[in-house]
Chain A
């Protein structure tokens, strides 16, 4: 934890873990998208991800560590930042100088965290139980059916859609902001930031599309 004791190291760590999650999100989206046009492709990808040794033994633990690191660090920063202003202003006009999303990363983050709880309960825990606890035989065709079944519920579909909106808010500030955090701020960064803003809306919008697609099509 040596270097994490400095504010800039924490900032960079936050950015790198965030960027890593953004990459993962893109990959997750690509696989999910196949479920809307080719159940077979979706099953193949899912089976690969679920059974490949490298994915299961390395990528998955790294990802879980990344998520935990990111949100724990997010809470640590929030606590420190609150204590940096113990007496608050009577009148504080944040809207005059900064965007709502940038000031409320912790709240969009908390919604995402709650969503991850639901998401793990929906897919990850049953998956782990199926494979490693009950020790069921490998079945390369079950994934698509499990997915479709989950999105029957209007409540679940609604919660997913809502969470993706908050994910978009989180990324709308976060993705572009992470370039600044790692020290990248020049004319190329300006173009990259535009891409980040588009990505921040497009990917969550895509996830919303997938959720609604399965809800209304089956």
Chain B
């Protein structure tokens, strides 16, 4: 496959970046999108040029490291996959592919396609945990019965890998889907009740402080989320937040 890549190049956080065009040949349909970029980088290194920097780690859709806005969509045109799982067979010979970093004021560019997503870590630190001491006195998981429906919903919310595609897709760069997944995974379980009020208040406050936008329910996040995190989580977080503020 022969492709034309248009890639955002930016030397460092302060530099003014620009799109650069790279023709590339010999791409197989079985390659992942990141492998395609590996091929490009090998060529660049051989030519003595600076390779394109991008985030990745597990390359199997579980770590949430990979990102990229590909032809205007986070993680590319495929559904329910991360960029590392995106196959090149989704593209056609002769295509032009525009590759940009995730754009949000709260996700500043570090270099090229790498953005700083530590804003998500800070939201998580603000309340995405339960303070139960499990070292040495672990209690059997089944000692507190949990309704199957709630257990499933909680599990599904917990599959969020924190990739940031929801923010990247949203026209408002809102982090509501991510934050609501992290709130929901605890809100649905008895273990999460103790800190329920502070959790939602603190996580939402942190989310706002980071400069993410306001949700207007366009639903783009849910469509683009590689883990299929549902909008129901946002409604749940809104309920949790309302009940938390009414409790003061």
* 0/1 string, B222-237, CB within 8 A of A gives 1: 0110000001101111
Q: Kindly count the residue-residue contacts between A and B in the assembled complex, taking CB atoms under 8 Å apart.
A: 135
- Does A88 lie within 8 Å of B103, measured CB to CB? yes
Residues on B with beta carbons closer than 8 Å to the beta carbon of A155 = none
Pick from A3, A8, A86, A88 the residue with the most CB of B within 10 Å. A8
Which residue of chain B lies nearest to A106 when distances are taken between CB atoms in the complex? B216
Count, chain B residues at interface, CB 8 A: 47
Q: What is the bound-complex CA distance between A47 and B207, given in angstroms?
A: 50
> A89 and B69 in contact (CB under 8 A), knowing A11-B238, A96-B77, A183-B239?
yes
Chain B, residue nearest A105 (CB): B216
Contact with A along B161-179 (1 / 0, CB 8 A): 0000000010111101000
Contacts A85-B103, A85-B213, A183-B242; A90 near B171 (Cβ below 8 A): no
A83, B176: Cα distance in complex, Å: 16
Q: Is the CB of A97 within 8 A of B238?
A: no
Partner of A84, one of B106, B218, B231, B239: B106
**Is B220's CB under 8 angstroms from A84's CB?**
no
Digit string of B59-100 for contact with A (CB within 8 Å is 1, else 0)? 000000000010111000100000000000000000000101
- Docked complex Cα distance between A81 and B211 (Å): 9
Least CB distance from A191 to B in Å reads: 15
In the complex, the answer to whether A6 meets B69 with C-beta atoms within 8 Å is no
CB of A131 within 8 Å of the partner chain: no
Sampled A-B contacts (19; CB under 8 Å): A7-B174, A9-B245, A11-B216, A81-B214, A83-B105, A84-B106, A84-B174, A85-B173, A91-B72, A96-B72, A97-B219, A97-B223, A98-B219, A105-B216, A173-B217, A177-B217, A183-B238, A185-B235, A186-B232
Given A11-B215, A84-B173, A98-B171, 13 more A-B residue pairs with CB atoms under 8 Å apart are A6-B204, A6-B208, A7-B174, A12-B238, A84-B174, A89-B72, A89-B100, A91-B98, A92-B72, A97-B224, A177-B217, A183-B235, A185-B236
